[in-house]
Structure 1
């Protein structure tokens, strides 16, 4: 009989892959992808542990191994940290970047800024790009067919 309760698998009853992650795996995966996108370097368990995650490096490594076996992370070489795979980045973009609802005040500001009369179509697109960028906290791109 083991003194340690096993950690439940991060992927529920479905086969590993692009499925719903448990909270621990989701948090670790999100942190790895965000760190990798910021630095371009493989992310190790010690880096995550020092970044304030409340788990030991060994627990983080176990979850990282689960994510690797699921095809979401890869290790460039034996002693390296992990990097997201193409499938992992797709999961991050599709499911872990959460889009929240905007508040009534923000909605009124957007409506007001886009409703300006006498502005050219290009100016309206520029304003929409600036609004998207501000809401997303990153780059905003707006494309038009005309």
Structure 2
């Protein structure tokens, strides 16, 4: 059992809900989430002081951080990883999205590059976000990734690998 799954199992329902709402609020707005904001949205009625105590406990566990004394909380890297691994609820694909993805595989021209381009486009369309699909060319890990805006709907992705190769 990993440390993050152990932490998640040991958290009570209130802590789990506060953590989930802080992460979701942060991902939605990019701003720290405060205790007063959470008191309005939690399933149980508790005071802002109670929420601050729970957030302080989550900060002690390394899941949340505070940019400054009077700010709300933001998730740490470890907190975001734990959220994705243990709390993120992803729904099933609807029929239209499934058909879009399946259509990318139906046109096998033998060209791996064009197939990966189609898969990337389909994933971006379904998720309404950036997608990155790579063919395993070599074993070097990615050292740096940069997105350069080319237009409102296009971006250039620059990958720098640990062995110095750039794509």
TM-score normalized with structure 1 length: 0.67
Do the aligned partners of residues 121 and 34 (structure 1) sit closer, same or farther apart at CA in structure 2, a change above 3 Å counting? same
> Is the contact between residue 18 and residue 87 of structure 1 (CA under 8 Å) also seen in structure 2?
no
Q: Deviations over 1:9-40 (max 9, x none)?
A: xxxxx9xx743233332222122122223433
Report deviation, 1:44.
0.6
Report deviation, 1:105.
6.9
Do the aligned partners of residues 59 and 101 (structure 1) sit closer, same or farther apart at CA in structure 2, a change above 3 Å counting? same
> Counterparts of 1:106 and 1:28 in 2: how far apart (Å)?
32
Count of equivalent residues: 132
Alignment of 1:48 with 2:48, yes or no, is no
> Is the contact between residue 97 and residue 126 of structure 2 (CA under 8 Å) also seen in structure 1?
no
**1:19 aligned residue:** 8
Report deviation, 1:109.
4.8
> Counterparts of 1:104 and 1:76 in 2: how far apart (Å)?
42
TM-score normalized with structure 2 length: 0.60
Report deviation, 1:91.
1.0
Instruction: Give the structure with the higher percent strand.
Output: 2
Higher relative contact order (CA 8 A, sep 6+): 1
5+ residue gaps, structure 1, are: 1-13
* Secondary structure in structure 2 of the residue aligned to 1:98: coil
Structural RMSD (CA): 3.2
**2:49 aligned residue:** 58
Q: Deviations over 1:88-144 (max 9, x none)?
A: 122123222234444677545532332114374333212212332344453322111
